[in-house]
Structure 1
Amino acid sequence: MEKAARLFDCIVAQAKAPKPDLLNAKVNGTWKAYSTREAHDMINQLAISLLEMGVSAGDGTTEGRDKIGLISSGRPEWLITDLAVQQTGAILVPLYPNTNCKELEQILNEAEIKYLFVSNQELCDKIHQIIDKLPALKAVYSFDTTEGFTNWSTLFKPLPEGYQERIKTISDTITADTVATIIYTSGTTGRPKGVMLTHKNIMCNVWACGDILGRIPLEHQKALSFLPLNHIFEKTCTYVYLYYGFSVFYAESMETIGANMKEAKPDIFTAVPRLLEKVFEKIMVQGQKLQGFKRKVFFWSIKVAEEFEIGKTDWWYNIKLAIADKLVYSKWRDAIGGNVRAIVIGSSACPIKLEKIFTAAKMVVIEGYGLTETSPVIAANRYQESGRRFGTVGQLVNGVEVQIAEDGEILTKSDCVMVGYYKNPEMTAEVITNGWFHTGDIGELDKDGFLRITDRKKEIFKTSGGKYVAPLPIENKMKENYFIEQMMVVGAERKFTSALIVPSYTHLQPWCVKNDIPITTHQEMVKNPKVIALYQSIINDFNPEFNHVEQVKKVTLLPDEWSIDSGELTPTGKMKRKIITEKYKTEIDKMYTGEEHENPSLVH
C-alpha cells in the first residue's frame, strides 16, 4: 500500500477497499454502522460547513491557524470531526471528558478555541459554567441532543457543486510537516502541556506500528475501541485501523466493555494494565464460585498459565496447556466474543503475571512504550513469538533511534518526535537537545534490542542515608500478588522505604469469609489483625528480591481505591504521586514516627 503522507489520506486509502461497517457504535441500544462512503461524505460535509463558518488556516503558522476543540468519549463522531477539521487547515485540540472546569478554561483559552464540539449534556453543563470566560469561543455543537447548544446535525447539508475542488485546494496546502493536532498531556505533576504533533509525526508511527499489528492472522479485522481518543495511544491505533482496513467498534462505556465485546466479536483491542487487572479479577471471582472438580481444574489452569514462557518446548507442559485451553481458557475467549487474538497494552507497565496468563490463553499481550511527545510508540513487542519478551516493552519500531544517557535516561530521535510544546519554547528546549528527546524514563537496552523501563527519572528518590530508590520496579513486582490492588512506595529523605497499599477487595473479601473474619466496611477490614498479618507475610515474601535499602519496612493499608474522579490518578490511570503524598501525609508521617528502626512492621 502506498504510504499516506497526511492523516486524512487514510480515509482515501480506505475508499479503495470500502467497508460496510467502517465505524460502529450503539444508538438507542442497537449497533449502527457507518460505511466507508457514509463516513467519507460526512467528513466532507462537515469540512465544508466549517469553511463556511470561517474556519481557516489563517496565516499558515501554528499560532495563526484556527483551533477547534473536541471533548467526547470515543465514538464515530469523534473521528469524523477530527478528519473534517484537518481538511480545513485548522488544528484539532481534543480534551479528556473528565477534565475539570479550571483546566478546561485554561486550555481552551490558551489555544484560543474558535468552535467546540462536545458529546453530551453533562459536558454541555460543564461548558456552561465557564463559557463567559472563553472570549475566543464563537459556538458550541453537541453530538447528542442537549439543552443550550446546537446539535451538530445542523452542519450536515448536501454537498455543493465544486466542493471537491475547494477541499482539494486547501488540503494541497497541508503537508506532512503541518501540525495536525495539539494534545494536552494529563501530566502526573504540574500544568498540562500542549504537545504539537504533525501529520508526519503520527503517520510515521502508523507505518511503524503496521509491522506490529499487520501480521496478526485476522479473519474479521475488527477492533474494539474504548480508551480516550484524545490520548495519542488510542488515536494512533485508530489510524492504524483505518490505514490497514479494520472495522472499528466503539464501546458504549467502560462499564459495558464486556457486553460490547461479546456483540462486536473483535480480533484486537487496546487497553491499559488497570483494565486487564479488572478483567482478571472478574475471572477470579467467577472461579471462586466454582465447586468440587470444576474449582480444582480452574485453579490448576491458572497455575499452568502462570508458568507460561514464550517459545516453551516442554512437551508435557504443552499437553497441560492444551487441556487447560480446552477446559478453561476457551471459555474466557468466548466470554469476550471468541475472536480476540491480541491485546495491545500501553500507558504503564503491565504485570508479567498478567501477560503470561492472557498470552497462555491465546490472547497475546503486546506491550509497548512511548509518550505523547513521540506520537507515541518508541518500542513494542510483536505478535510473532520471536519479537516478544516478557518484562520488556519490546524492540524499537522502525525509524526510531534510542540512546541511554549516562544517568540511565532514555533519549530518542525519530520523525515521530513532536514539534514542541505549544507557546512554550523554553520547556521545549529543556526536553529536546540536538533532535534527541529526553523521555524522563530510566531504562536498559539489551543486546537483542529489547527495551526495559526501570523507572521514571523524576520518581526516583533518595533516602536520608543518601541511597537511591526506584519505586516502580518494587510496585510492579509486589502488585503481582492478587491481594494488592494499588501501591505507592515512599521514603524520600526518610530513613527507610515504606508504602501505601490499597488492597484488592475483590480477593480480600472471599479470603475474609474463608478465615471467619466478619465482612463489614473496608475501613474496619484494613484494621483487622488477620488482614494485617496477611499483608505482612506478602511484603516479607517479596522483600528478599530487593536490596536492603529498597525493602519495604512499613506499610499503611488504605480503605479507598485511588481513581481519576477522586484525583489520585491521571486520565490515563497513572498515579499522581505528589497528590497522593499530600493527601495521605498523616498516614505517611505515622510510619516514620516513634521507633525509627528497620524491623518490618505494618501500620494501619
Structure 2
Amino acid sequence: MTDTQNLLENRPPSLATHFLQRVEATPDKEAYRYPVPPASGTGPDEWRPLTWRESADRVFAIAAGLIDLGIRPEERVALASSTRVEWILADLGVLCAGAATTTVYPTTNADETSFILSDSGSRVLIAEDAAQLAKVRAQREELPELAHVVVIQADDAVPAADDPEGWVLSLTELEKRGAALLERQPDAVRERMDALRSDQLATLIYTSGTTGRPKGVRLAHDSWSYMAIVIGNQDGLLFPDDVQYLWLPLAHVFGKVLTAGQIYVGHTTAVDGRVDKIIDNLPVVRPTYMCAVPRIFEKVYNGVAQRAREGGAAQYKIFQWAAEVARDYARVSQDNFRRTGTASVPFGLRAQHAVADKLVYGKLREAFGGRLRAAVSGSAALAPDIGYFFAGAGINILEGYGLTESSAASFLNPADYRTGTVGKAFPGLEVRFAEDGEVLLRGPGIMQGYHGLPELTSQVLESDGWFHTGDIGELSPDGYLRITDRKKDLIKTSGGKYVAPAEVEGQFKAVCPFVSNILVHGADRNYCTALIALDEPTIMKWAGDHGLGGKTYAEVVDTDEVRELIGGHVQRLNDGLQRWQTIKKFRLLPRDLDVEHGELTPSLKLKRPVVEREYKDLIEDMYAGAREV
C-alpha cells in the first residue's frame, strides 16, 4: 500500500480537522499574506502576514460567533465577497461550526443572489461590503430565513432604519461575540468539530447556468478532506516553503479547492482577488506557484507579443523566432521524455534555446516574479501552442481537469507533465468511458447531488455513484487524459462531419495575438463560421500605429483594415485544419464578451447558447444564400 492510499483510507472526516492539525503542527509559520492599502491613499500596498495560530484564533472566533447567532450543524451560511483573506477565514469558521458554506459571486445581481440564498435556505450572509448588503436588503421580504447579514468591511456595516434589530453586524462584531462565547464555553467549537461526519454537507456551490437558474452542487466534508490529501501528495507539486499567489474567485470550485491542498501542506498563500493588481503583485509576492484560467495565460502571451511588435519589425521577428524555438524545445523534450525517460534535445535546438532565453524567456519569467516553478491551468482547455510556448520558456503549465460536481480536481499533470493533456487521475478516483466517449467518474470528490433537484441529479449521477461529466475524452495507455470537447458542444455539420469547436478555437488563440474570445458555429450547417471578439488594448494599439487612431473600438473592428488583418490569421488557422473544420466566414463583434452581459461565466468560460442567441443575426448573415445540404 502506498503512503497516499494509507492516508486516504485513514483520512479525517473534514477539512476542518486538517486545519486544526496544521495549526498544531506549525502554529508560528506564516499561513496567509494579504495586502493593506497605504493610509495616505497613494503608494504600494503593505503585505501583512498571518500565522496559522493567528488564523485559528480568528477562525474559532467566527465559528463561535455563528454558534452564538444560533447556527446549527448543516445550516447554510452564504459568502458573497471577492477573494480576500477574510473569505478563507470565514469559510473555515463555517466548517468548524459544523455549518455549510453557500458561495455567491460578488458580481451576481440582486435577483439571482436572492434566488441562491432562498434556494439554499441560508440563515446568515457574510457580505463583503455595502454593495453586497444592498442586494439582500432590497430583497429582504423575500428572504424570511435570512436572520443576519455580517459585513466584512466594518465601516459598511451600517443598519438601516427599517432593519430588524441585530440584522446587520460587522465581522469584527461577530468575532467579538464568538470570543465572548468561548470565554463562557471554551469547548463550544471543538464539540462541533468532534461531531462532524464525513457525509455531512460542507459546501453548496451554485453552477453558472447558461440558461435558467443555477443549480446548487452539494459537496460533503469528505470531498474536501480527500482533496487536501490527494493534492498535497501530488509528486513534485507542493512544498512547505512554497508561496502561492491566490487571486481566483473563491466562490468558484477551482479557487476553493486551492485552500485545501495549502492547509494540508502548510505553505504560505498570498491572497488578493483584484485582477487589475496581478501584474503589480507578481514581482512583489514572487510566487513559486499559482493557478489561473487559460484566458490569463493567453493575455500574457498576447501582451508579450504586442510589446515585441511595438519594439519594431526586428524585435517582433526575434519574438516570433523565440516563440517557435520554445514550442519546438518543449515538444521535443516532452516527446523524448515519454519515449526514453530523458528530456534531451538536439545540440542545435539547445543552443538556439539558450540564445532565446537571454533575449526573451528570462524577461517573461521576471514578469511572474522570477521564482515561478509551475502554474496550474484549469476550468477550460488551454491551447496546446500556448502551453508549449510557456513550457519552452521555463514556466511549466500543468493542466488539470475537474468540475464543480467533482470538487474541482479529478486529473492533474504530474511533474513529468504532457502538454495537451489534463494529466492522470487522482488516487481513489475511478474512470471509465461511455460508448460515445463521455468521461465517467466515481470517487470521494463526486457531489452528493443537486440541491433540491432529484430529477436533474438522476440525469448525471447513477445510483452506483458514476457521474456523467458531459465531456468527451480519451486516455493514453499510460493514463494521461485528453479532453476533446463537451459532449453537448460537439458540432455535426450537415455533411455529417463532427467538429470539436473548442479545439479549433484553441488553435486560433495560438495563431492570432489579437483575439480575446472566439465562438465556432456550424451545427447542422454545411460549413463552419466564427464570431470573433478582439482584445481591446491590443487591437487599439495596432489601430493607432496604422492610421486608425481616434476611432472607437467598435469603429476599429468595422474597418476593412482590421477585417483583412484578422482574415490573414483565420487563413493561417485554416491551413492547419481538415477541410470540414475550416472557418469559411467570420464576423468581428462590436465589443468583447464579458461576465456582465452574461456571455462568460465568472471563471471566463464561454456560454455558447447565450452568445449564439445574442448574435443570431450575425450568424444567419454568414449563411445567407448558402445552399444547405
State the distance in 2 between where 1:471 and 1:299 align: 26
Q: Which residue number corresponds to residue 510 of structure 2?
A: 480
Please state if 1:332 is matched with 2:364: yes
> How far apart are residue 228 of structure 1 and its match?
0.8
126-135 or 44-53, larger mean C-alpha shift: 126-135
> How far apart are residue 114 of structure 1 and its match?
0.8
443-452 or 299-308, larger mean C-alpha shift: 299-308
Q: Which residue number corresponds to residue 185 of structure 1?
A: 207
State the distance in 2 between where 1:170 and 1:208 align: 26
Q: Does the Cα contact within 8 Å between 2:228 and 2:263 map onto a contact in 1?
A: no
Q: Which residue number corresponds to residue 420 of structure 1?
A: 449
Instruction: For residue 594 of structure 2, give the secondary structure of its aligned residue in structure 1.
Output: coil
Q: Does the Cα contact within 8 Å between 1:261 and 1:337 map onto a contact in 2?
A: yes
Please state if 1:393 is matched with 2:402: no
Q: Which letter maps to 2:83?
A: G
State the distance in 2 between where 1:590 and 1:241 align: 51
Q: Does the Cα contact within 8 Å between 2:525 and 2:628 map onto a contact in 1?
A: no
TM-score (norm 2): 0.88
Q: Which letter maps to 2:71?
A: V
1:273 to 294, 297, 302: 294
1:408 to 419, 427, 437: 437
Q: Does the Cα contact within 8 Å between 1:220 and 1:267 map onto a contact in 2?
A: no
Q: Which letter maps to 2:509?
A: K
> How far apart are residue 333 of structure 1 and its match?
2.1
State the distance in 2 between where 1:298 and 1:550 align: 29
2:322 to 279, 284, 301: 301
Please state if 1:226 is matched with 2:247: yes
Alignment of 1:490-509 (within 5 A): 490-509=521-540
Structure 1 gaps, min length 5 = 58-64, 599-604
532 and 92 in structure 1: CA distance in 2 versus 1, 3 angstrom threshold: same
Q: Percent identical across equivalent pairs? A: 34
295 and 476 in structure 1: CA distance in 2 versus 1, 3 angstrom threshold: closer
2:269 to 248, 270, 276: 248
State the distance in 1 between where 2:36 and 2:549 align: 44
Q: Which letter maps to 2:429?
A: V
> How far apart are residue 40 of structure 1 and its match?
0.5
Please state if 1:520 is matched with 2:551: yes
> How far apart are residue 108 of structure 1 and its match?
0.6
Please state if 1:116 is matched with 2:153: no
State the distance in 1 between where 2:477 and 2:119 align: 45
State the distance in 1 between where 2:380 and 2:445 align: 20
2:75 to 33, 41, 66: 66
Q: Which letter maps to 1:394?
A: G
Q: Which letter maps to 2:19?
A: I
Q: Which residue number corresponds to residue 14 of structure 1?
A: 22
Q: Which residue number corresponds to residue 41 of structure 2?
A: none
Q: Which residue number corresponds to residue 205 of structure 1?
A: 227
526 and 342 in structure 1: CA distance in 2 versus 1, 3 angstrom threshold: same
Q: Which letter maps to 1:39?
A: S
> How far apart are residue 400 of structure 1 and its match?
1.2
Q: Which letter maps to 1:116?
A: L
Q: Deviations over 1:99-119 (max 9, x none)?
A: 122211111111111111011
State the distance in 1 between where 2:368 and 2:360 align: 14
Alignment of 1:21-100 (within 5 A): 21-28=30-37, 29-57=45-73, 65-100=74-109
Please state if 1:358 is matched with 2:377: no
State the distance in 1 between where 2:103 and 2:240 align: 33
Please state if 1:152 is matched with 2:174: no
Q: Which letter maps to 1:236?
A: V
> How far apart are residue 408 of structure 1 and its match?
1.2
Instruction: For residue 447 of structure 2, give the secondary structure of its aligned residue in structure 1.
Output: coil
State the distance in 2 between where 1:259 and 1:19 align: 28
State the distance in 1 between where 2:620 and 2:315 align: 47
Q: Which residue number corresponds to residue 473 of structure 2?
A: 443
> How far apart are residue 210 of structure 1 and its match?
2.4
Divergent runs of 4+, >6 A: none
Q: Does the Cα contact within 8 Å between 1:462 and 1:469 map onto a contact in 2?
A: yes
Please state if 1:454 is matched with 2:484: yes
> How far apart are residue 130 of structure 1 and its match?
1.7
Q: Which residue number corresponds to residue 40 of structure 2?
A: none
> How far apart are residue 202 of structure 1 and its match?
2.1
Please state if 1:558 is matched with 2:576: no
Q: Which residue number corresponds to residue 622 of structure 2?
A: 591
453-462 or 502-511, larger mean C-alpha shift: 502-511
Q: Which residue number corresponds to residue 60 of structure 1?
A: none
22 and 256 in structure 1: CA distance in 2 versus 1, 3 angstrom threshold: same
Structure 2 gaps, min length 5 = 38-44, 160-167, 335-342
Q: Does the Cα contact within 8 Å between 2:203 and 2:218 map onto a contact in 1?
A: yes
Please state if 1:106 is matched with 2:88: no
State the distance in 2 between where 1:19 and 1:276 align: 35
> How far apart are residue 173 of structure 1 and its match?
1.6
> How far apart are residue 291 of structure 1 and its match?
5.2
Q: Which letter maps to 2:169?
A: T
Q: Which letter maps to 1:45?
A: A
Q: Which letter maps to 1:422?
A: H
Q: Does the Cα contact within 8 Å between 1:252 and 1:260 map onto a contact in 2?
A: no
Q: Which letter maps to 1:140?
A: V
State the distance in 2 between where 1:517 and 1:177 align: 61
Q: Does the Cα contact within 8 Å between 1:189 and 1:576 map onto a contact in 2?
A: no
534-543 or 159-168, larger mean C-alpha shift: 159-168
Q: Which letter maps to 2:129?
A: N
State the distance in 2 between where 1:508 and 1:47 align: 50
Q: Which residue number corresponds to residue 378 of structure 1?
A: 410
